[in-house]
Amino acid sequence: MILCSDLEIYFNKPTDYLLANQQLLIPDWDWKWEQQTPTLALILLQAQFPLLEISETIQAEKDRLLGKFIRLAQSIKLESDRHNILAEIIFPVDGKPLFSSTGDRVFNLPALIQDILNFPVEKTAQGCQVFIHPQWSYAVYPGLVLMNTSINKTEIVVKKILLSH
């Protein structure tokens, strides 16, 4: 786990749901995840305010955080490539992989965070799922990077990127 003032990164093995549905989520990753377990890097970015309502201000904040996540995730992917580690960025807006073929299912980041981190999940008035961070409440934006290596190697790659920024 990496904790900063406005960023948290958690490293975990795939959930039972992900293991059971790997071919429906990322068909290009054609191996048994039970035998070669990838690592999930759950990236949580703190927002400047709760992201519950629909407004131009909140959309601008979501766009800012999405850009921050994509820049960080692309740096992680490039560093992974240098070490011959397969990495995939899951686009937070739709839960689809950016560099692999999309399967019949998508990644549900709030449900994944609830399953792994036990953060409560609620539905907004608009029907979206949001999770509640213990310190940041609703002022949080999630992202996900998968890497086909151990948690230790994933953490080393991510720390190297964070130290260089």
Stated pTM of the model: 0.94
Higher pLDDT, 140 or 30: 140
Higher-pLDDT residue of 101 and 164 is: 101
Name the helix (H) or strand (E) containing 12.
strand 7-12
Neighbours of 20 (CB within 10 A): 13
Q: What is the mean pLDDT of residues 18-47?
A: 91
Range 94-119 average pLDDT: 94
**Token code pair at residue 37:** 């377990």
Q: Stretch 24-35: mean pLDDT, rounded?
A: 87
The pLDDT > 70 percentage for the chain reads 99
Residue boundaries of the structural domains of the chain? 2-164
